[in-house]
Chains A and B, each alone.
Chain A
């Protein structure tokens, strides 16, 4: 089982969470301008990387808040988690922005109190 760090509750067992798929999928600015292919891509097509992946998790049995988790899909290491919307889609592009309020923020060089947080 994964040990997922919730930005508010700390590291918790995977069974308290619900998976929410890829993070940072923005709703199209002008949906009516999209053709069928672009709309289908927005609805159905998701990245499937072998490596770091930004995904959403819902702490369903805990604080009932969503968070964005960065997880490696190969070795399942969790790099950190932030409240949804704290950072943009590309974590590396605006890296100068600095970490958010989450103690497990992916932008923190050394996650605070992360013993057991990242596995």
Chain B
């Protein structure tokens, strides 16, 4: 058999996560948006028309499906879209942000190849991450719709807790765990191997300790 001329594209954590509760959401389109403070209002308005959700405030994420937007620093946003290509997403953002003045009011860069996304689900997801993360991940502090850039183990990551905001009807202190406890961990491609091993190891430890506590 002849090798195909173009090698198959390989995701950064491929083959590492079989049989674990961690999965990789590979090849998501990611675009960074950089906005000057004096153009923030216009850029936010035009981006909202294109994205269908407002640009988030510090520590937050907006948009539920595709695309969604993460706050990654003062004047910096990461737009993530599973249904687009990085090039397409950037072209769309550029045309939307150039609409009013005929020139761009924000910088757009395609970062799709920079990071991959690991998704961690289940009631213990927060505890698994807490093995390597100095942040308080309790849902009262880091609830659904939160996004923060921090470290897990030795890797710099973006942590996104998915799910809608906890409504006033949700019972206090409960409920937020369980279904809402899905974390998306955005990690640089070269750190994906390390982080996948770190998290699967941490998940094994948590499971073993739970089993020991019961039996």
Contact = CB atoms under 8 A, between A and B. Distances in A.
A55 interface: no
B72 interface: yes
B151 A61 contact: yes
Contact of B72 (A16, A60, A63): A63
A83 B148 CA distance: 18
B57 to A, nearest CB: 10
A15 B73 contact: no
Interface string B144-168: 0000111100001000000000000
Given A13-B134, A13-B135, A61-B156, A8 B151 contact: no
A2 B74 CA distance: 23
Given A8-B58, A9-B58, A16-B134, A61 B150 contact: yes
B135 to A, nearest CB: 7
A62 interface: yes
Interface residues of B, number: 13
Give chain A's interface residue range (CB within 8 Å of chain B): 10 to 19
Contacts of A61: 149-151, 156
A61 B159 CA distance: 12
A16 B152 CA distance: 10
Nearest to A83: B74
B54 interface: no
5 contacts: A8-B59, A16-B150, A16-B151, A61-B156, A63-B74
